[in-house]
Chains A and B, each alone.
Chain A
């Protein structure tokens, strides 16, 4: 009965090699979020979609992109991963802006 699914759970990539993380939801929520959580740090919002409207945080590096082809799926693309991009990436959804956010289990990215 998983509601927010992230694949893969663990991803290893090489320095500079593009990587895509996937998130899907069965909740039919309007809003989807991507958070980055580095070791021992707080989760930090990278960007979010309200339906097809994309909202980028001002300090999100250009290296990070996102796609939402339909309501259910959202992707995080890292064009040229650096060592500093190694982190847990959390996807979350909510019905509207001010509703509870439901989180996926996260994808742990390792950059070699």
Chain B
């Protein structure tokens, strides 16, 4: 079964501290992994996808197939990073575009 697990409901850090939001997945095929973000009172939006291998707003995420993980990292958190973050998986063989989401982690960056 396809599943995405985000073990932390809430992650609270101080401004300038490193951040790592954890995401583990369960899928036997070739997955596509994404991070979506939802800022306060805004809609869900794509932050980054593993195939792009790019850094967005200072965030990076590396797909580790051996550990079935796709953790989101940022070396120095900013207050404006405070938001809800969802990890999502799409089956690489999918022809539906279906996303399977984790339950989300709220990142709180304190001044």
Q: Taking beta carbons and an 8 Å cutoff, which residues of A are in contact with B?
A: 4, 31, 33, 40-45, 48, 55, 57, 90, 92, 94, 96-106
Taking a contact as CB atoms under 8 Å apart, the answer to whether B86 and A43 are in contact is: yes
**Identity of the chain B residue whose Cβ is nearest the Cβ of A31 in the assembled complex:** B97
**How far is it, in angstroms, between the C-alpha of A41 and the C-alpha of B99 when the chains are bound?**
14
Q: Is B40 close to A, CB under 8 A?
A: no
Q: Is the interface of B mostly helix, strand, loop or mixed?
A: loop
Contact residues in B for A94 (Cβ distance below 8 Å): 97
**B35 smallest CB distance to A (angstroms):** 12
With the chains together, A31 CA to B9 CA distance in Å? 31
Whether the Cβ atoms of A48 and B101 lie closer than 8 Å is: no
Q: Which of A92, A97, A102 contacts B95 (CB 8 A)?
A: A97
Contact A103 B95 (CB under 8 A): no
Q: Known contacts A42-B4, A106-B43: does B99 contact A101 (CB below 8 Å)?
A: yes
Contact A90 B103 (CB under 8 A): no
Nearest A residue to B45 via CB reads: A103
Query: Which residues of chain A have C-beta atoms less than 8 A from B97's C-beta?
Result: 31, 33, 48, 94, 96-99, 101
A75 and B98 alpha carbons, distance in the complex (Å): 18
**Set of chain A residues within 8 Å of B32, measured between Cβ atoms:** 98
Per-position binary interface string of chain B over residues 23-55, scored 1 when its CB falls under 8 Å from any chain A CB and 0 otherwise: 000000000100000000011111001000000
Q: Tell me which residues across on chain A come within 8 A of B102, comparing CB atoms.
A: 42
Shortest CB-to-CB span from A86 to chain B, Å, is: 18
* Chain A residues, CB < 8 A from B42: 105
Q: Is B64 an interface residue (CB 8 A)?
A: no
